């Protein structure tokens, strides 16, 4: 059964029920002259997305546009399958990400290094998007999605190929991962820091850029609407630096990756449970496993230098 939440007359949040986990990965449906999705979610969950479109009262065949915040498989892995199913669908993406939608071989090879034999189980089959269906959005370019005209903001840090999409008329910001991971109703945010492109100074600059536009509501892919904008970003900044310092100190102590992961997992799980309740840690692990974040932090620290 489709699980949808109406956030405005023209805006629907579709729960993909990723790995049978509610409120892990969301897809946003914008209704209007150019019916559109923001994010496809992974290919594995497309039936839930399509059912959600129908539940919102729209024939999926009438979808015209898909904008992805970035090309990680939990956000854009289903784009190719959607395009093959719906011949009128056009895809909008960051210029760095566009070649990897057209030819996902390098993206899949990189993901395989992280997920190993679990890649297909976690994300399903990733199909290429035909080049003539891919449209590059530059920084501060406008795009019509549904009834809304959104501003694409280049927001690296989590990944180089990252956009957030701002509706200046309402203050809604579709954040992708630049605003981190936070469950509905929570006042806790985790910093998703997977390899290979984590860049903490760039992420800080992206946060400053976003706050200069004064968004009123953050619409997270992981997960849903959050109105505590400045507090969320202040906490996210703090978490990014805490993670970097913890990994830096652990490397200086001679700890290896498994030991660093166990140390940071224990700390994170205790804090999440204390803030959001005993069931919350499992949801965060589905969205962004601690080990992946640790691997990204280790790679980043080794790249910039252990001394910092």
pLDDT tens, the chain, 308 aa long: 679 999 999 999 999 999 999 999 999 999 999 999 999 999 999 999 999 999 999 999 999 999 999 999 999 999 999 999 999 999 999 999 999 999 999 999 999 999 999 999 999 999 999 999 999 999 999 999 999 999 999 999 999 999 999 999 999 999 999 999 999 999 999 999 999 999 999 999 999 999 999 999 999 999 999 999 999 999 999 999 999 999 999 999 999 999 999 999 999 999 999 988 998 999 999 999 999 999 999 999 999 976 65
Domains 1-146 and 155-308 share a fold: yes
Q: Which residues have a Cβ under 8 Å from the Cβ of 85 and sit 6 or more positions away?
A: 60
Q: Up-side HSE of residue 272: CA atoms within 13 Å toward CB?
A: 22
Q: Which residues have a Cβ under 8 Å from the Cβ of 96 and sit 6 or more positions away?
A: 160, 161
Neighbours of 55 (CB within 10 A): 15
Residue-level pLDDT at 40: 98
Q: What separation, in Å, do the N-terminal and C-terminal C-alpha atoms of the chain show?
A: 50
CA distance 196 to 160: 10
Domain 1-146 has CATH 3.60.15.10: yes
Neighbours of 5 (CB within 10 A): 15
Q: What is the dihedral of CA 79, 81, 84, 89, to 10 degrees?
A: -30
Residue-level pLDDT at 2: 77
Domains of the chain, by residue range, sit at: 1-146, 155-308
CATH fold of 155-308, please?
Metallo-beta-lactamase; Chain A (3.60.15)
- Encode burial over 237-259: b for 16+ CB neighbours within 10 A, e otherwise: bebbeebbebbbebbeeeeeeee
Task: Scan for tokens 């200046």, then name that residue.
Answer: 168
Provide the sign of the torsion angle of the four alpha carbons 153, 154, 156, 161, taken in this order.
positive
């Amino acid at each position: 059964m489709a699980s949808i939440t109406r956030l405005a007359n023209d805006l629907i949040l579709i729960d993909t029920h990723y790995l049978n986990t509610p409120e892990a990965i969301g897809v946003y449906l914008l209704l209007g002259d150019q019916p559109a999705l923001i994010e496809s979610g992974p290919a594995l969950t497309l039936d839930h997305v399509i059912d959600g479109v129908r539940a919102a009262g729209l024939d999926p065949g009438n979808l015209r546009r898909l904008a992805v915040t970035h090309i990680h498989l939990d956000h854009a892995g289903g784009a190719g399958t959607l395009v093959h199913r719906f011949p009128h669908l056009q895809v909008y993406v960051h210029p760095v990400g566009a070649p990897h939608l057209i030819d996902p071989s390098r993206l899949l090879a990189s993901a395989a290094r992280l997920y190993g034999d679990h890649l297909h189980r976690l994300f399903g089959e990733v199909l290429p998007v035909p080049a003539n269906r891919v449209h590059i959005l530059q920084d501060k370019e406008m795009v019509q999605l549904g009834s809304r005209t959104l501003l694409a903001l280049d927001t690296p840090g989590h990944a180089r190929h990252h956009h957030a999409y701002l509706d200046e008329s309402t203050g809604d910001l579709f954040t992708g991962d630049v605003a981190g991971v936070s469950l509905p109703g929570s006042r806790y945010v985790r910093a998703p820091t997977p390899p290979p492109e984590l860049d903490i100074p760039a992420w800080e600059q992206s946060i400053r850029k976003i706050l200069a536009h004064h968004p009123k509501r953050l619409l997270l892919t992981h997960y849903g609407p959050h109105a505590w904008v400045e507090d969320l970003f202040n906490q996210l900044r703090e978490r990014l630096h805490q993670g970097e310092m913890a990994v830096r100190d652990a490397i200086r102590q001679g700890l290896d990756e498994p030991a660093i992961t166990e140390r940071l997992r224990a700390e994170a799980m205790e804090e999440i449970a204390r803030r959001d309740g005993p069931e919350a840690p499992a949801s965060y692990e589905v969205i962004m496993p601690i080990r992946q974040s640790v691997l990204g932090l280790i790679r980043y620290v080794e790249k910039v230098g252990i001394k910092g």
